[in-house]
Amino acid sequence: MSVRIEILSGLGDKGPAAIVVETQGKRLLLDAGGALHPGDTITWANQVDVDAVLISHDHIDHIGSVAELADNLPLYCTPLVANSLPKNRLWRPLPERGTLDVEGITVTTGQAGHSLGGVWLHLAVGNGVFYSGDACFESLVFPFDTPPKAAIALLDASYGTFDQPQSACLHAISKHFTQPLAFPVPATGRGLEMALWLIEEAETRELTLAIDPDIRANLATLLAMPATLRRPGIDACITHALARGNDENATLRLVNDRDDTPEQWPDHRLLHTGYLTPVRQAQLAAGEISWQRWNVHLRASHLQALAVQLGATQVVPLFTSLNDQALNEWCTLLGTRLCTAPMFTAHSSNHSSLGSFA
């Protein structure tokens, strides 16, 4: 059996995700990412020819180009992710954790530790293909499920070879509490865990806090899901967060990111914790905003550990620069497992196990 991987977008920079896996005469598209920067045009979707599309999660760089695809193309995603599809787009359910048949291919999903309703995808073709979508081991609220073995691993390397633990990130964020802060965040991702952390910090430090209603609604959704779809031991914290009102004129404000600008927040300093668009990079360079990462992607040692756990022989670091220096670092981290080809074919026999790939 041969498996052909074609990375239409997402290789070599932090770009929209779109990967085709072709096997058994079928072509599956993993994610349909849209532009990360307003005004950018997407070209990967031109004349894309696939049998079905699977969406890992609802962030724009993974779901934003669904409207560019044919309306009748079968589309699979979890019910929560379906809330972010274009209006009236038909879809079929992916389990949050489970197995289903897509075009004759067994697809396994598991929790990716990154966002509400987000999953990783494993395809039982060849000696296994694993696609992490966006993934993280360190979320305070979203669990990460151990995936089945896979010879080919397409992994979230959004942070490059950065490897700072979340505890160090949180410590660095807390150093900014000397001034009024607004945190614009994705409401289905880190917003949920930041809400729980900020409540604890605000109560310990006697600071006032307001949490965006969208983030509160998503916390309620998470609490209503089966308990195995969230980290153990957090239910009381979520219940407390939902019961706690917003403080008037709060010093700390956790807000659903709507392209907030410093001008919109004259009384607060904007503290960003994720990917910065070029406009925001310029604001940071000009000293108009602050930035400190809150980990929501795999850091280097976790990506490395995941590659080993999968038994992967070909590991593609996605969504990151692959300039010469980065390539050297990835070589050191992944050795002969490193694969940076936009297109490659792996062959396996039915009797072989891992390591038989050409």
Among 31, 58, 96, 134, binds Zn ion (CB under 5 A): 134
To the nearest whole angstrom, how small is the minimum distance from the Cβ of residue 252 to Zn ion?
24
To the nearest whole angstrom, how small is the minimum distance from the Cβ of residue 16 to Zn ion?
11
User: Which of 30-38, 79-87, 131-139, 146-154 is the region at the interface with Zn ion (rule: CB under 5 A)?
Assistant: 131-139
Beta bridge partners, 19, equal: 7, 30
- The contact pattern for Zn ion, residues 50-69, with x = CB under 5 A and - = no contact, is ---------x----------
Indicate the residue among 55 and 202 with the shorter CB distance to Zn ion: 55
Q: Under rule CB under 5 A, how many of the chain's residues touch Zn ion?
A: 2
Q: Concatenate the DSSP letters of all residues of 189-207 into one string.
A: THHHHHHHHHHHHHHHHT-
Q: What DSSP state is assigned to residue 17? A: -
- Burial of 141 from C-beta contacts in 10 A (0-12 / 13-18 / 19+): buried
Indicate the residue among 134 and 260 with the shorter CB distance to Zn ion: 134
Indicate the residue among 190 and 253 with the shorter CB distance to Zn ion: 190
Indicate the residue among 156 and 268 with the shorter CB distance to Zn ion: 156
The amino acid at residue 52 is A
To the nearest whole angstrom, how small is the minimum distance from the Cβ of residue 316 to Zn ion?
17
Indicate the residue among 209 and 254 with the shorter CB distance to Zn ion: 254
- What are the residues whose beta carbons fall under 8 Å from the beta carbon of 91, sequence distance 6 or more? 75, 76, 77, 82, 85
Indicate the residue among 134 and 193 with the shorter CB distance to Zn ion: 134
- Burial of 348 from C-beta contacts in 10 A (0-12 / 13-18 / 19+): buried
Indicate the residue among 119 and 316 with the shorter CB distance to Zn ion: 119
To the nearest whole angstrom, how small is the minimum distance from the Cβ of residue 112 to Zn ion?
9
Please, what is the angle between helix 235-243 and helix 190-205, to 10°? 70
Contact 30, 61 (CB under 8 A): no
CA distance 60 to 220: 23
> Is residue 156 at the binding interface for Zn ion, with CB under 5 A as the rule?
no
Distance of CA 301 to the CA centre of its chain: 17
To the nearest whole angstrom, how small is the minimum distance from the Cβ of residue 69 to Zn ion?
19
To the nearest whole angstrom, how small is the minimum distance from the Cβ of residue 206 to Zn ion?
34
The residues binding Zn ion (CB under 5 A) are 59, 134
